[in-house]
C-alpha cells in the first residue's frame, strides 16, 4: 500500500489497572477497502476499536486521520470528524420510525417561522433523505419509511443502522459484529450492504468472529493477539485455517512475513475450531 491511510494508529497502549489490553498495537485503514479485525477473546479488538471511535482514550500512542493526529475524548468528537460506528446492539430506538432513527440526534428543523419559533422538525425532509439513503444501499424491502423499527426483522434493523452510518460518515464506517444473531439470509444481505458502503467510497472496519463472513467480504485482515497486531493478511494470500492459526499462535510470521508453523497439531486444531465456530 502506497496511499496515505484514511485512519492509522501507532503504538497504542491501553491499560485497565494491571491488565494491558493494548500493548503497542499498530493499525492502518486505506481508502476504498474493507479491513476486517479478528482476534481471540482478550486480544484487544474491542479496546482498539474503542480508541479509534473515541469511546476510550489510549494511555500511549496516537491516532491519525488522513495523516493528521487526532485526540478523540468522546464518541461525539469522532462522529463529528466523520467516523460512524454500527454497534452490535444497533443503538436504534424501536418505538421510533425509520426516518427518525436515521436522523436520531441530528434532526433537521423546519426553516419557516414555525420551525424557528417552535423548533418544529422537518419530517418531510427526513423521510425524503432517509428514503434516498436506503435506496442508495439497495434496501428495497422496506416500503414505508415511516414504519416503526420495532416492526422490522433483525436484518432490516441492521440495515437501518448501516444506512444511518453511511449517510453521515465522511471518513470511516466501523461495524462491530454486524451479523451477530442474524440468520443466514439476513446475514447475507448485511454483507451485501457492507460491500455497497465500500463501493460508495467509504472504507469499512469490520469486527467479526465469523471467519467465513470475514473471508467473503474483507480486502485485508488485521489479526490481533495478546494486545498486539501480529499480522495483516489477505484472503488471496492466506486461507481461513492460516488466519486462525496466526490468531491462536499456532503459526507466527517471520520478519519477511512468511509463515512459521509453531505446532502442526495446534494448527490443525485451530483450523477445526475456525469452522466449528463459524456459525456462533
> Over the stretch 188-198, which tens digit does the pLDDT of each residue have?
888 988 998 99
Predicted pLDDT of residue 44: 94
pLDDT of residue 264: 46
**pTM of the predicted protein model:** 0.82
**Vertex 263 angle, CA 259 and 266, to 5°:** 105
pLDDT value of residue 195: 93
E strand map for the chain: 7-16, 19-29, 34-39, 60-65, 68-70, 83-86, 172-176, 204-207, 220-225, 228-233, 251-253, 259-261
Of 49-58, 67-76, 109-118, 140-149, the poorest mean pLDDT is in 140-149
Looking at domain 7-89+153-237, its CATH superfamily turns out to be P-loop containing nucleotide triphosphate hydrolases (3.40.50.300)
- Mean pLDDT to the nearest integer, 91-109: 84
Question: 2 versus 214: which is more confidently predicted?
Answer: 214
What's the average model confidence in pLDDT over 243-265?
Answer: 67
Confidence band, pLDDT 50/70/90 cuts, at residue 90: low
The burial of 55, by beta-carbon neighbours within 10 Å (0-12 exposed, 13-18 middle, 19 or more buried), is given as middle
Domain parsing of the chain, residue ranges: 7-89+153-237
Average pLDDT score over residue span 65-81: 94
User: Which of the four pLDDT bands, split at 50, 70 and 90, describes residue 20?
Assistant: very high
Q: Would you say 235 and 31 are in contact if contact means Cβ atoms under 8 Å apart?
A: no
What backbone phi and psi angles, to 5 degrees, belong to 4? -70, 130
**And the C-alpha cell for 51?**
480508541
Average pLDDT over every residue of 137-164: 77
CB 246 within 8 A of CB 230: yes
**139, HSE (Cβ side, Cα atoms, 13 Å):** 30
260 DSSP β-pair partners: 252
Strand-pair category, 34-39 with 251-253: unpaired
Reply yes or no on whether the pLDDT at 83 is more than 50: yes
Please tell me the least confidently modeled range out of 24-28, 114-118, 236-240.
Answer: 114-118
Distance, in Å, from the CA atom of 94 to the CA atom of 99, rounded to the nearest integer, reads 12
138 vs 217, higher pLDDT = 217
Amino acid at each position: 500500500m502506497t496511499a496515505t491511510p484514511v485512519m492509522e494508529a501507532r503504538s497504542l497502549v491501553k491499560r485497565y489497572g494491571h491488565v494491558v489490553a493494548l500493548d503497542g498495537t499498530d493499525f492502518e485503514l486505506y481508502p476504498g477497502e474493507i479491513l476486517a479485525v479478528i482476534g481471540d477473546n482478550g486480544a484487544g479488538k474491542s479496546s482498539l476499536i474503542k480508541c479509534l471511535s473515541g469511546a476510550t482514550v489510549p494511555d500511549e500512542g496516537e491516532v491519525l486521520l488522513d495523516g493528521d493526529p487526532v485526540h478523540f475524548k468522546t464518541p461525539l468528537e469522532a462522529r463529528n470528524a466523520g467516523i460512524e460506528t454500527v454497534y452490535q446492539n444497533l443503538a436504534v430506538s424501536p418505538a421510533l420510525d425509520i426516518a427518525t432513527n436515521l436522523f436520531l440526534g441530528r434532526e433537521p428543523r423546519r426553516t419557516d417561522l414555525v420551525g424557528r419559533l417552535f423548533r418544529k422538525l422537518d419530517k418531510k425532509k427526513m423521510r425524503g433523505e432517509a428514503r434516498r439513503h436506503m435506496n442508495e444501499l439497495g434496501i428495497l424491502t422496506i416500503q414505508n419509511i415511516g414504519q416503526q423499527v420495532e416492526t422490522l426483522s433483525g436484518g432490516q434493523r441492521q440495515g437501518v443502522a448501516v444506512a444511518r452510518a453511511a449517510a453521515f460518515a465522511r471518513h470511516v464506517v466501523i461495524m462491530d459484529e454486524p451479523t451477530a444473531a442474524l440468520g443466514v439470509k439476513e446475514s447475507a444481505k448485511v454483507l451485501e450492504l457492507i460491500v455497497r458502503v465500500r463501493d460508495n467510497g467509504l472504507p469499512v472496519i469490520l469486527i467479526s468472529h465469523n471467519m467465513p463472513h470475514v473471508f467473503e467480504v474483507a480486502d485485508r485482515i488485521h489479526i490481533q493477539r495478546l494486545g498486539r497486531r501480529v499480522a495483516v493478511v489477505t484472503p488471496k494470500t492466506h486461507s481461513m485455517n492460516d488466519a486462525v492459526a496466526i490468531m491462536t499462535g499456532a503459526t507466527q510470521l517471520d520478519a519477511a512475513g512468511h509463515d512459521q508453523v509453531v505446532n502442526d497439531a495446534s494448527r490443525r486444531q485451530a483450523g477445526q475450531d475456525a469452522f466449528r465456530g463459524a456459525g456462533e
